Structure 1
Amino acid sequence: MSIRESARPSSPTAGRKPDKTSAARAERQPQPRTRFGTWLQRPLASFHLVVTIATLLTVLGLVMVLSASSVESYAGGGSAYALFNQQAMYAVLGVALFYIALRMPIRTLRKLSFPAFVISVVMLVLVLIPGIGVEVQGARRWFMIGSISVQPSEIAKVTFALWGAHLLASRRSENASLKDIVIPLVPAGLIVCGLVVLQPNLSTTIALGIVLAALLWFGGLPVKVFAAIMASGAVAAVVLALSAGYRSARVTGWLGTDNDPQGTGYQARQALYSLADGGILGRGLGQSRAKWSYLPNSHNDFIFAIIGEELGFIGCSLVMGLFALFVYTGLRIAMRSADPFLRLLTAAATSWITAQAVINIGYVVGLLPVTGLQLPLVSAGGSSLAITLLMFGIIANAARHEPEAIAALHAGQEGRFARLVRLPKPEAYSPSKAEAARAEAARRAAVKAARKREMRNDMPRRGRPVEARDPRRQPRQRNGERGFDR
């Protein structure tokens, strides 16, 4: 079953004994021929894959940031470990956020999604105000809280994905019209993208556009409407890319119209030299030549070139293999989840992180123009690392809510990791309970609206004669006291 067919609930109940039909169907399924295939059939295989991928990419990122940034950090008059220490601090913060997201109930995530999205939009507005947001190289994107920098646009990607998945899951369950699905989500996405463009930050705008596109696609938007929205987004991206001088220079350098080797194409050309210098096996960890001030931003946007130079083609293949495994794991979790909210959220988050990695690797190897998108969990960047680990924690939480995983956890098969960190047992998704909760919320909203209408009707209108008012609300005098006749 494809994720776009998520309107039909697929909720295998935990703990229920399989009937003869399901047992026969299970016997007809092909049995795995490898040990890895057998391991994938375990109930918590998706959860362990997410945790393993996040750990390997984070550790690799810390090692490569130390290698790529040590020379310039020392040359700048500081310690060779300055950027590494900062990245390690954000990695610790990201691990804490990962753990919080892993423990948080899904119901709480949905309840907090809209307030968190509103707060992130307010932060995007505040960061544009001089004196509040910090301006670096002409861009106003950060808050400084002591020695910690916070980038609101990174937070907005997570909150927008959470709220968008909650909105679409609720509207789909209510059989809402196409207008009711598109109108709240698309305008909100355009507002967030517009605020990020004002910073300016085209790379994060592209990432937000990917999140919006993934939500609409996996939410079941008709193909014609989806194609029209994507065409409009592509036109807007081209206009933005050509509107500023440095952006258009990147595009012309990528197209080859700018042949100045020391001009706008210098960084991309040095990245190719670095990859070519690595060969198959690489020059060895810490032995890069490009990091000696030949390749700008070698620890950030172009860290994949340093990986290729020091670890060679094999190292690059391992990185791409980890992201390919993440794609498989994320879509596996989305298809196996019974909760429509988790399906949409996991699929959108997987698309966003994978697309960001593909774009970063694409412009490092020269297949795409330079956009400035970082390699998730690997490139230097504190806010990006912490927020991406938070998103990985949410995906791991979704993996523990697979029907088979819920049954295994309630049967006492939580494993050493869950016992060590004392993770709570997940609750099974129940369509009847979800429908009852939506009905209760609708009833409360109707009662609240009726009370507001009643209050408006009871309020005396200006210029209205006293005799025409409700006699029950007429003030009267009794024993020198004021009161309302009851």
Structure 2
Amino acid sequence: MTTSVERPARRTAKGGRVGALRQGLTAWLGRPLASFHLLLALFGLLAVIGLVMVLSASAVQNADSTILSTFGKPVLLDSLGLIGFYIGLRIPMRTWRQFSPTLILIAVALLALVLTPLGAGAYGREHAWFKVGSLSFQPVELAKVALALWGAHVLVTKRALLGQYRHLLVPMVPVSLVLFALIMLEPDLGSTVSLGIVLLALLWYVGAPMRLFAVVMGSAAAAVIVVSIGSGYRNTRLSTFLNPGADPQGAGQQPLQALYALADGGLFGRGLGQGAAKFNYLSNVQNDFIFALIGEELGFIGCAVVLILFGVLAVVGLRIAARNTDPWIRLVASAITAWVVGQAAINVGYVIGLLPVTGITLPLISAGGTSIVVTMMAFGILANCARNEPDAVAALRSLGPGRVGGLLRLPAPEPYRPPARRKPVRPSTPPRGAARTGGSRAAAPSPEERRRVHRSAPPTEYRRRSAWRSGHGRSTEGGRR
């Protein structure tokens, strides 16, 4: 029988363990490279979960194919994505900023070029990809990173003038509208929404007024409704969202089968590789609806793990932005975090029936060519931002690159140096004839004003002036000039 003396002792011991754990976690988070290591862990976990689930989905759909054709493409794409991650991590942030105007021009040019006969299409889109053999390249994914880098560069360059709408919106909003128009000509509403998240994140974190967001969100909602009503398959998606049971064998099949797969999974799932939805019950399960397959095979626990990872990613990304002193890096980290987490929220939202189907991927989880490579490169840029935190810069430059930096041969980041303030420019001397021609030169004083100033001068100055005007040539000290 437990005595009353033992119970407080157990509570104290339990509270001591919790307090010690909390202190240890706080101390670890206070380390210079904590954000960098957290981001690497999140990146690795999401990438591994995505590769495993894509292989699980592809194994059944390609049962008659060889092992190389079934598993080779996802592994190849992840390998290319790791190269993109290393590029984003290896290139200095200063170089990314200098290259951002060129990158946005390349994105605009590729989006325009994909609308020509050189572009290929699928899934209801006439032009969306450049195909090279079995691989494809979707330029809209590059446009997301380009807008985040270039938009942050423009806003930071004009930060002293952002109180005026003209400087806040121009040229970033017009260029974004050009990107939106080119993407809608493919047509691709889902990618347009993802790109809009980047634009809104840049305006939000730079401190744009709330009334501007009200106007932008209202205009965007109206545009989406008009486009959805005016297009055949978008109108079908909207009506299916409002009433998914109206056409269960047609347009409503995907949303309904996704909900059935989530329900079949239960708490712990049916087991990895044991899902039934991938047997052509749920089309595109490895792309747009892979979250439903996670729920079916890994259950509620698996879905919760994925959601927690994206939630921690949001916290870590904003932590990286808050701990940086470079305003451009802060905007870039915030925009990339908002884009990745926002796109994940939209994908999960339409899988569970809270949003209409838009056809965008779950970052790092869904199968895809360009989306996987570019998203991994964006994670590399975000990890690069983590290495540029002031404490991290000081530690890396004084203590060395560390284990990860030494293994990847990463250079030490440069400390942030705020731009030097410009000295006030002296006004130029007006032209000699400005007073006579009505210029900006002040009018000459009248003889009475000159006489009054002369008399009010100090005695020594008065005698000096008198001696000079009388032509005696003697100074007040008695010496000769």
TM range (shorter): 0.7 to 0.9
| Alignment partner, residue 47 of structure 2 | 58
What residue in structure 1 maps to residue 461 of structure 2?
Answer: none
Are residues 1:404 and 2:418 paired? no
CA deviation after TM superposition for structure 1 residue 178, in Å: 2.4
Aligned to 1:235: 222
SS in 2 for 1:144: strand
| 2:184 is the counterpart of 1:212 | no
Higher-Rg member (1/2): 2
Deviation at 1:83, TM superposition (A): 5.0
Report the AA paired with residue 49 of structure 2: L
- SS class of match (2:251): coil
Tell me, in whole angstroms, the C-alpha distance in 1 between the residues paired with 2:221 and 2:395. Answer: 45
Larger RCO, structures 1/2 (Cα 8 Å, 6+ apart): 1
Q: How much does 1:81 deviate?
A: 5.4
Partner in structure 1 of residue 232 of structure 2: 245
The answer to whether structure 1 residue 38 and structure 2 residue 27 are counterparts is yes
Gaps of 5+ in 2: 1-18, 424-481
Correspondence 1:196-211 to 2 at 5 A:
196-211=183-198
- In the TM superposition, 1:371-390 aligns within 5 A as 371-390=358-377
Deviation per CA, 1:386-428, whole angstroms, max 9, x where unpaired?
Answer: 0000100000000000011111111215321111111100111
Structure 1 residues 425 and 306 mapped into 2: Cα distance closer, same or farther (>3 Å)?
same
Distance in 2 (alpha carbons) for counterparts of 1:410 and 1:257: 58
2:173 to 186, 205, 208: 186
**Matched ranges for 1:280-319 at <5 A:** 280-319=267-306
Q: Is the 8 A contact 2:108 2:179 kept in 1?
A: yes
Q: Report the counterpart of residue 133 of structure 1 in structure 2.
A: 119
For 1:87 and 1:59, the matched residues in 2 are separated by: 11
How far has the Cα of 1:168 moved from its partner? 0.6
Contact between 2:161 and 2:168, CA under 8 Å: does it hold in 1? no
- Tell whether the 8 Å contact from 1:102 to 1:396 is kept in structure 2 after alignment: yes
Report the Cα distance in structure 1 between the residues aligned to 2:403 and 2:160, rounded to whole angstroms: 37
Please give the residue correspondences for 1:464-475 in structure 2 after superposition, counting only pairs within 5 Å: none
Amino acid at match of 1:301: D
Aligned residues: 404
How many Å separate the matches in 2 of 1:421 and 1:388?
A: 20
Identity %: 50
1:156: which partner in 2?
143
Measured in 2, the distance between the counterparts of 1:389 and 1:249 equals 33
Q: Indicate conservation of the 8 Å contact 1:66/1:81, yes or no.
A: no
Task: Note the C-alpha offset of 1:258.
Answer: 5.2
Match of 1:367 among 337, 354, 357: 354
Counterpart CA distance in 1 for 2:258 and 2:212 is 39
Distance 1:405 1:172 in 2: 26
Asked whether the equivalents of residues 65 and 84 of structure 1 are also in contact (C-alpha less than 8 Å), the reply is no
Structure 1 residue 342 corresponds to structure 2 residue 329? yes
Task: Tell me if 1:95 matches 2:82.
Answer: yes
Provide the TM-score with structure 2 as the length reference: 0.81
Instruction: Write out the 4+ residue segments of structure 1 that deviate beyond 4 Å after TM superposition.
Output: 173-176
Q: What CA distance in whole angstroms lies between the structure 2 residues aligned with 1:396 and 1:45?
A: 11
SS in 2 for 1:100: helix
For 1:293-337, what per-residue CA distance to the aligned partner results, in whole angstroms no more than 9, with x for missing partners?
A: 111111110000111111111111100010001000000001111
Residues 85/275 of structure 1: CA separation in 2 closer, same or farther (3 Å cut)? same
List runs of 5+ in structure 1 lacking aligned partners. Answer: 1-29, 440-486
Aligned to 2:380: 393
The Cα shift of 1:136 comes to: 2.2
Question: What does residue 177 of structure 1 align with?
Answer: 164
2:315 maps to 1:328: yes
Partner amino acid, structure 2, of 1:50: L
Distance 1:175 1:245, change over 3 A: closer
Q: Is the 8 A contact 2:259 2:351 kept in 1?
A: yes
Distance 1:214 1:108, change over 3 A: same
Aligned CA distance change for structure 1 residues 364 and 257 (closer, same or farther; 3 Å):
closer
Could you tell me how far 1:79 is from its partner in structure 2?
Answer: 3.0
Q: Contact 2:290/2:366 (CA < 8 Å) preserved in 1?
A: yes
Does the aligned pair in 1 maintain the 2:162–2:168 contact within 8 Å? no
The answer as to whether partners of 1:32 and 1:38 remain within 8 angstroms in 2 is no
Alignment match, 1:352: 339
- Please state how far the C-alpha of 1:254 moved relative to its aligned partner: 1.3
CA gap 1:374/1:335 in 2 versus in 1, 3 angstroms: same
Question: Cα–Cα, structure 1 residues 106 and 397, in superposed 2: closer, same or farther, change >3 Å?
Answer: same
Q: Given residue 387 of structure 1, which amino acid in structure 2 is its aligned partner?
A: V
Cα distance change, pair 309–175 in 1 and its aligned pair in 2 (3 A): closer
CA contact (8 A) 2:237 2:356 kept: yes
Change in Cα spacing, 1:101 to 1:173, as seen in structure 2 (3 Å) is farther
Task: Please give the root-mean-square deviation of Cα atoms over the aligned residues, in Å.
Answer: 1.8
Which secondary structure does the structure 2 equivalent of 1:262 belong to? coil
Q: Pairwise mapping of residues 234-273 of structure 1 onto structure 2 (< 5 A)?
A: 234-256=221-243, 259-273=246-260
Aligned-residue offset at 1:241: 2.2
Q: Does structure 1 conserve the Cα–Cα contact (< 8 Å) formed by 2:244 and 2:256? A: no
- How far apart are residue 365 of structure 1 and its match? 0.9
**1:116 maps to which of 103, 115, 118:** 103
Distance (whole Å) between structure 1 residues aligned to residue 77 and residue 57 of structure 2? 17
In structure 1, what is the Cα distance between the partners aligned to 2:20 and 2:166?
A: 45
Q: Is the 8 A contact 2:268 2:301 kept in 1?
A: yes
